[in-house]
Chain A
Amino acid sequence: MLPLADSLAAIILVALTAYVLLGGADFGGGVWDLLASGPRKTRQRDLIAHAIGPVWEANHVWLILAIVLLFTCFPRAFARMAIALHVPLTLMLIGIVLRGSAFVFRSYGGGGGRVFAIASLVTPVLLGVCVGAVASGAIGEAGGGKGEGFYAVYVAPWLTPFAFAAGLFALTCFAFLAAVYLTVEARDAELQEDFRQRAILSGVWVLMMAGLGLALAPHRDLVDPRLMVLTGAAAVTAFWALWQRRYRLARVAAATQVTLILWGWAVAQYPYLLPPDLTIGNAAAPPVTLKLAMIAVLAGAVVLFPSLFYLFKVFKGEKQKIESHETEVRGSS
């Protein structure tokens, strides 16, 4: 069995994965909102709003959960990241605020789409930049206080071609996920076809960005080779399923692909939390805290998973009608 600290690090990774798969797809929805085009422009946007509405807040909480568990269980890592990544994290927060408020505004006021869409572009890039900076090993050293001056300590660690490649990679992954999910959400063949094309196109972009990221990588062992093979298999399956219009299979394959990308990063980095010096073990809180955090997570999961299952069963089940939702959300005006 894994030691407690490793298990909690794995749980944080699961929360982050859930945020990427669910919240990431919401960001991706914003990308397609911005790029909505053709004769079915309005219907595309309505579909995106419909898909995001009921699950938006719940998707968002995964990020809070990951952060809370990080500062509870690995306070040193949290403090270091908060210092070295202050600038991109603050910018990301601004993006989250703009996106959140524009989402509310759009659902209840009928405008704000442009802000929603632009914030949806910026926030995932910054999230990817932060992950890229951690993976490149720059945060471990910067947080330790090496280097002098504002630029060296607070900017240089993340203002790198690799970190930005990671940022763009995150953006394309989110857009890809959203397009694939929307092929399942769409209730008519034309809309389905729109998002099928977008899914295939963004899938190609994901591959190109992955290549760019690997080319710019500061060191070779960024991704675990075994998981890379599996990721490739998932990607091929996703393309094949999209080609064959087997959308449910495509959804599973795309989610698996993105999950494996994240886990490939985590496995390659293990046992480091912030390479090159801070490991899971030496960043961990005292054992009593870890034990209690684990109990809290398990108790929370007992409440959470049946509730989540219920939420998705009610709203993402088989026979949903868009019309009923439309009258619900905009009913008052």
Chain B
Amino acid sequence: MSDLLAARSQMAVSLAFHIIFAVIGIAMPVLMVIAERRWQRTRDPVYLDLAKRWARGTAILFAVGAVSGTVLSFELGLLWPRFMELAGPLIGMPFSLEGFAFFTEAIFLGVYLYGWDKVSPRAHLLAGVLVAVSGAASGIFVVIANAWMNTPTGFTLLNGALINIDPIAAMQTPAAFPQALHMTLAAYAATGLGVAGIHALLLLKNRTSAFNRAALTIGLIVGAPAAVLQPISGDIAARYVARRQPAKLAAMEAHYETRAGAPLKLVAGIEIPYGLSLLAFHDPHAVVQGLDSVPRDEWPNVSLVHLSFNVMVALGTYMALVGLWAGWLALRKRDLTTRRRFLWAVAIAAPCGFVATEAGWMVTELGRQPWVIYGVLKTADAVTPMPGLIVPFTVITLLYCALGAIVGWLLYRQIIRSPQA
């Protein structure tokens, strides 16, 4: 394994690990606040129990997320010192703001978690709301930094150096809005349906549990609308990619030849005529650049990007359909918690959002290769000169595997296990 590949793999493992915690850390506080609000209104102890369990879940994930986030902030420099030297002054701004948002989240999570009998009910709920808001904000700031790597703005490139830098223009990078929207919705959809799915499974075993019924409902309230909206945000994101990163779009669709009226390839042999032109530019006759317009040594890994993209789209579509089903049942005022087929559909959706999120990140990160800053700096030129990077890669991977197992076990103990058990 080359040092470059080891560094990329270590970064990939660190990000893939962290993103799960980030996603749940963004959305779980929303679930917990809804449960607490319902407890304050109805005084039904089930909701208090849920709020406390979800708060503990948030705390476990947040504490691990804080650690894996610290690791990442160091790894940016440890693995990619040339990148940070060049990009630091430009993307430091969203990272600094993220630091403060994260700080606010940590502070109010402390208040929420340990303050049940120390602050007034209203202040307690407000602390929860602040955790949810600052969690979403910190996610958005980090995604803005990543968006800049895809569509770098706010500088002039001169002999490999960035001059005339403008960090505000860098933050307004074109990819910022579509990426931040797509990621935030992903967090709510994955976590909401994840929670709903687990409790759907438990309801299939024990239909009468009020605890599981309440958890399923709140999970769907957060997850279903986000899952339904996600394809729309995906469309916005894809159209930005088509215009700004044609090589990435071509890899996503395995589209080799530049042509007008490009078809959409679904599976081997089946295509929708004009589909790709329609999707990418909302015009059936638009020209879609193929990989042939990009020098061969600047192609991303087409098969991996294409596969990841298809996995993301397939899972996202399934989740949107489940979300629509839930909305339809709710509109007709049916009891969601007793329909076996619906419960099975939700249970199957539980892991989908997390797999789709990972796949989506593979699309955006692998699709940008061989660039770390698109069109400006190649990943190979950004890597640290230190040799033997396979050693830290192996150690970090083993560490994260162990940590993942511990967290899974703790979550099971703390939140999923029903109170009767």
- A residues near B, CB below 8 A? 53-58, 60-61, 63-65, 67-69, 71-73, 75-76, 78-83, 86, 89-90, 93-94, 96-98, 100-101, 103-105, 107-109, 150, 154, 285-286, 288-289, 292-293, 296-297, 299-300, 303-304, 307-308, 310-311, 314-315, 324-325, 328-329, 331-333
Contacts and interface: CB of A to CB of B under 8 A. Distances in A.
B63 A297 contact: no
B167 A328 contact: no
Interface string B63-107: 110111111011111100110111011101101111110111011
A109 B410 contact: yes
Given A71-B77, A72-B93, A94-B396, 5 more contacts: A71-B95, A82-B384, A93-B70, A296-B100, A332-B413
Contacts of A307: 103-104, 107-108
Contacts of B387: 150
Given A101-B403, A297-B96, A315-B114, A60 B78 contact: no
Nearest to A81: B77
Nearest first, the 5 closest Cβ-Cβ pairs linking A and B are A72-B92, A82-B77, A100-B67, A300-B100, A75-B88
A36 B384 CA distance: 42
Interface stretch (B116-124, B187-195, B357-365): B116-124
Chain B interface main SS type? helix
Nearest to B171: A292
Given A71-B88, A333-B413, A57 B109 contact: yes
Contacts of B52: 331-332
Nearest to B409: A109
A60 B88 contact: no
Contacts of A293: 92-93, 96
Nearest to A62: B103
Given A61-B102, A75-B84, A332 B168 contact: no
A321 B335 CA distance: 45
B197 to A, nearest CB: 22
Contact of B96 (A55, A69, A103): A69
A58 B110 contact: yes
A272 B85 CA distance: 18
A107 B407 CA distance: 12
B309 interface: no
A292 B67 CA distance: 27
Contact of B92 (A94, A103, A285): A285
A197 B84 CA distance: 46
A142 B224 CA distance: 54
Interface in B161-187: 165-168
Contacts of B384: 82-83, 86
Contacts of A98: 399
Given A293-B96, A297-B96, A58 B85 contact: no
B45 interface: no
Nearest to B63: A104
B311 interface: no
Contacts of A75: 84-86, 88-89, 92
Given A79-B84, A300-B96, A100 B89 contact: no
A68 B96 contact: yes
B414 interface: yes
A258 B54 CA distance: 39
Nearest to B108: A307
A78 B110 contact: no
In this complex, the member of A71, A105, A311 whose beta carbon has the largest number of chain B beta carbons within 10 angstroms is A71
B395 interface: yes
Given A315-B110, A324-B117, A96 B81 contact: no
Nearest to B166: A288
Contacts of B273: none
10 contacts: A53-B114, A58-B110, A68-B73, A81-B77, A89-B74, A93-B71, A96-B67, A98-B399, A300-B100, A328-B113
In this complex, the member of A65, A86, A293 whose beta carbon has the largest number of chain B beta carbons within 10 angstroms is A86
B56 A55 contact: no
Given A94-B399, A311-B111, A56 B63 contact: yes
Contacts of A304: 100, 103-104, 107
A58 to B, nearest CB: 4
B167 A90 contact: no
Given A90-B392, A100-B67, A108-B56, A65 B410 contact: no
Given A96-B70, A296-B93, A65 B103 contact: yes
Given A71-B84, A93-B71, A54 B110 contact: yes
Contacts of B97: 296, 300
Contacts of B117: 324
A325 B92 CA distance: 38
A151 to B, nearest CB: 12
B35 to A, nearest CB: 15
Contacts of B168: 292
Contacts of A103: 63
A97 B106 contact: no
Contact of B107 (A86, A308, A328): A308
Contacts of B98: 68
Contact of B399 (A89, A97, A328): A97
